[in-house]
Amino acid sequence: MAGRPGGASPQLSARATAQNRLDPLFPRKWSFEYASCAYGPVYMALLSSMAIVAIFLCAYSASTLRAYQFAEDRAYHRGADVIHTLAQSRLSHFPTISAFPPDPPPASMYPSPPPPPTPQPPPRPVPPVLRKAPPKPPSSSPLPPPPDPGRWSTTNNITSALDGHGVVAYGKFVYLVAGTIGISQLFRYDTETGEMQELAPLLAYRSHFAVALVNASIYVTGGSDYFGQPLFWRAVNSVMVYDISSNVWSWTSSLNIKRTGSCSAVLDGKVYIIGGYDDADNFLSSVEQLDPATGVWRLLPDSSNMASAREHARAVAVGSYIYVAGGHGEDYPVTLDIVERFDPSSGTWSTMAPMTTARSDFGIATVPGGRILAAGGACANAECIVDGRFSTWSEVEEYSVVGNTWVRRAPLPQPLYRFGMAWVAGGVYAFGGYNPANALGEYTASKRVYVYSNTQYGRDGQPPATAAAPDAR
């Protein structure tokens, strides 16, 4: 076969054959001429496979980074696996349930002036909530339809994207206590200029804490001091307090129970911390009360426990009561619409009219006229799971303590949860928070600030004297 034709000597032919056998692809006598053609593609193939390996490494580290970045949310919603499993099973049973029925057009819902004394439009149907609901007392007769659903507008952004932060208003300023992963900053937002200033940082990292303002001091109570591996929250009982006049933080006396995901309100100069879950993941219904004058937290007796243990609920004080709404109930990740009212004089809770929407991690603010505005939030009930993810609301409702009724208000410009709200003369400010997940399942924190106004509040309306701070997550 080899070397026969061409007149080469048998010896040379044998050598060439040997060489060819050594390197059958590139016979020596071709090597110089063809190496560049033959080895070139081989080198290119090698380089291509190295590039493919590099791309895989790159993609792997990017996904690891993303996993880290969004681990906080997954950890917090530690029922995520449960949710996903639920979703897969429930979706197959209820494939057509939609968590976002369209908001009714405001015009038809709230006929514009002058509103005739028509009966209240039927409330938007709310999907049944799978939980053991305590019996609800009959609510008083509904108020006439509200004259103004109000409106949301945008104003100057905050300088850092925040979520899970605590928000309290003091004069024209709103203090933002950052609870975002790894952030322990305090900011002050000027509602007149839209400028944000960074103040003294917290003494330690906290998330899922409760925040309350009393006597020009901001209490950051309980929460979690830990994130990382394994991704679980660790409840703490420590409490730090910020003195607005001196811009100084200090530690103050600790809670009786380690609590995270609690909510807080201030009534008659006392700070209350309510519910949450402890370091053994027990859901709490208990209440502790701080008298700033003595600096002692008093655990109220069991008779002062809420009917529904819950975490990531919201609390505000109006008049001589504290109202607690929503959150996650004991059979996590069930989300509650239940509202309870605490009377400190008797130390007991009453169940009030439920919200029209089950929500946790929502914005709450007291507004003039004995009203409470509840906005946005998240729902992880089975009927709220869409594509394996919990729903995030844009809808807004307002409670009247006089009528014990909830009515729908103009929705937020976008769905949001883990944001903070506060009333500052003239409007309710909503800061930052999480948007719904994008296609990759990522939740991004926002820098946006929205302001809600409503003619029924008046331009210079003041919140009730006992207005309490909204809570942090």
Ligand X SMILES: *[C@@H]1O[C@H](CO)[C@@H](O)[C@H](O)[C@H]1NC(C)=O
Minimal distance, residue 99 CB to ligand X, in Å:
23
Question: What SS3 class is residue 311?
Answer: strand
Q: How far is CA 25 from CA 4, 30, 115, in A?
A: 19, 10, 91
Binding residues for ligand X, how many (CB under 6 A)? 10
Closest distance between ligand X and the C-beta of residue 157, in Å? 4
User: Three-class SS of residue 446?
Assistant: strand
For residue 430, how many C-alpha atoms fall within 13 Å in the half-sphere facing its CB? Answer: 32
Contacts to ligand X from residues 88-127, by CB under 6 A: none
CB of 213 to ligand X, least distance (A): 12
Calculate the dihedral angle through the C-alpha atoms of 462, 468, 470, 473, rounding to the nearest 10 degrees: 170
Q: CA 126, 127, 132 angle in degrees (round to 5)?
A: 110
Q: Which residues contact 22 (CB under 8 A, 6 or more apart)?
A: none
C-beta of 446 vs 454, nearer to ligand X: 446
Closer of 101 and 269 to ligand X (Cβ): 269
Q: Is residue 418 within the footprint of ligand X (CB under 6 A)?
A: no
CB of 387 to ligand X, least distance (A): 23
Chain centre to alpha carbon of residue 105? 27
Put residue 278 in one of left, alpha, beta given phi > 0 → left and psi -120 to 50 → alpha: beta
Q: 159-218: which residues touch ligand X (CB under 6 A)? A: 161, 215
Is the CB of 341 or the CB of 448 nearer to ligand X? 448
Q: How far is the CB of 75 from ligand X (least distance, A)?
A: 23
Report, in Å, the least distance between residue 70 CB and ligand X: 17
Query: Between residue 268 and residue 307, which ones bind ligand X under the rule CB under 6 A?
Result: 269, 292-293
- Kindly state the smallest distance separating residue 411's Cβ from ligand X, in Å: 18
8 A C-beta contact, residue 452 and residue 413: no
What's the rounded Cα separation, in Å, for the pair 99 and 386? 7
CA 61 and chain centroid, separation:
26
| Residue number with CB closer to ligand X (90 or 270) | 270
Are 320 and 288 contacting, i.e. CB atoms less than 8 angstroms apart? no
Which 428-457 residues touch ligand X, going by CB under 6 A?
Answer: 446-448
Please identify which residue in 17, 19, 120, 157 interacts with ligand X, judged by CB under 6 A.
157
Check residue 139 for interaction with ligand X (CB under 6 A). Answer: no
The footprint of ligand X (CB under 6 A) covers 157, 161, 215, 243, 269, 292-293, 446-448
